[in-house]
Amino acid sequence: MWKFIRAEFAKTSASRLLVILWIGGLIGLSLRAALFGGYIANSHGQPIPGEFLTTWSAGQMMASGRAAAAYDADLLHQLQVADVGHPFVGYFIWFFPPPFLFVAALLAQFPFVAAYVGWSVVTFIAYAACTARIFRDRAASIIYGLSPAAFMSFIIAQDGLFTAALFGTALLTLNKRPIASGLLFAALAYKPQFGLLVPVALLAGGYWRTFATAAAATGTWLIAWLVLDPAVIILFLRGLFLANRELLTLGHQGLHKIQSIYGLSRTVGLNDDWASALTVICGVALLGIVVLAWRSALSYPAKAAILVLCSLGATPYLYIYDFPLLTIAIGFLWRDAAFDGFERAAIAIAYVLIAAYVLIAIPVGPFAVFAVGLCVARRLVRLRRGAETLQPLLPRTS
C-alpha cells in the first residue's frame, strides 16, 4: 500500500493537485452544508439571501411581464422576502442592462437550487472551454484556469466566469470571425464597465467590421427596448446612478469589497472626490496604453492581454468574483510565450493575493492586476532592447 501511495504521489502534477484541491473544496462545502446548514437553500428549499437571488428574482419579474419592476429596489426586495420566506436585512438590487433579463427569466423557470447549480456549472464549462483554447496547453490551462477567483465565482454562482468566457471568446474570434466577435462584444455589454476600452482597441487596431457589428447590435437592443417599453431603459439608467451612489459614494455594501483603484483609495481614507479623480487619471492612462498597443506591431496575444488587463484596471466597479478575467489575460500572455521563473512567481503572487481576500478583506485587486501587468511591462522592455540590439545589423536604406 505504501509503495502504491508513493508511486501515485510521484505522478501527481501541479494540474492534478489543483483538480484535487477543487474537488476537495467542493466536497468540503457540501459536507458543511449538510451538517451545519446550506449556503444555497435551507432544508425547505427556500433560497438563502445572496447575490444569485438578485438574478433569480429579477427573472421572475421578467417572466411575469413586469420587466420594469426588476429595477425597483423595493418591489424586488418584497419578492425576495417572499422567495426566502422571512424578512432579511440588506438589499440585493438589479443593475444589469435589460437584455440580461432574458437570461434571468430563463433561470427563473427552474427551482432556485437547480438554477443556482446550473448557472455555476454551465458558466464554468464555457470558461473552461475558453481558457483551454487560449492556452492551447492542457496542463497550463488547468494550473492557471483553476484560480481562486474562478472557485469563488463558481461557489457563489456569480457572473465572473460568464464575463471571462465572453471576453476571451470575443478576442479569440476577432481575427477570423469578426462578425461573431462583434456579437460577443455586444453581449459583454451586460457588464458595461468591462467594455469601456473595447471600442478604443477595435478602432485603434482597425477592426471596423467588429466595431460596426458590436455597435449595431447594442444599438438594436437599445432601440427595441425604447420602442417596446421605454420605462425599462429609464429605470435602468436611473439604476446606474443609484449604483454609483450606493456602492461607491456611500459604500453601503462595504468599500473593502470593491477591488479597484477607487475601492483601494477609499479604504485608505481618501474621499469620493479624490478616489474618483484617481480613477479617471488611471483610466485615461490605461486608455492611452491600449491605443498605443493596438496601433503597434506587437503580437496579437500581447495586445489581447493588455486590453483585458487595462479593462480590469480602468473600472471602479470590480469585485473579487470578476477576476477570472485575469486568467484570460494570463492565457494570452502564455499564448504569446511560455512563462519564465519571474512570470510564474508574479502570477502566483497575484493568485495568492486574490485568495487572501477571504482572510484580510481589503482591496487586493489592484495589486493582483499590477503583478500581471509587471510581466507585460517586462516583456515590452525586453522586446525593445532586443530591437535596439538588432538595429545596427539591419541594412541601410539610401
For the chain, give every domain's residue range. Answer: 2-34, 38-109, 130-379
pLDDT digits (tens, 9 = 90+) for 380-395: 998 888 766 655 544 4
**Low-confidence residues of the chain, pLDDT below 70?**
1-12, 34-37, 387-398
105-127 pLDDT, tens digit each: 999 999 999 999 999 999 999 99
- With a CB cutoff of 8 Å and minimum separation 6, the contacts of 312 are 194, 318, 322, 323, 325, 326, 329, 365, 369
Rounded CA-CA distance 168/162 in Å is 10
User: What DSSP string describes 196-222?
Assistant: SSHHHHHHHHT-HHHHHHHHHHHHHHH
Question: Per-residue pLDDT tens for 144-159?
Answer: 999 999 999 999 999 9
The share of the chain scoring above pLDDT 90, in percent, equals 63
Q: Is 269 left (phi over 0), alpha (psi -120 to 50) or beta?
A: left
pLDDT at 15: 80
What are 58-102's pLDDT values in tens digits? 999 999 989 989 988 889 999 999 999 888 887 788 889 888 999
The grid coordinates listed for 212 are: 460596426
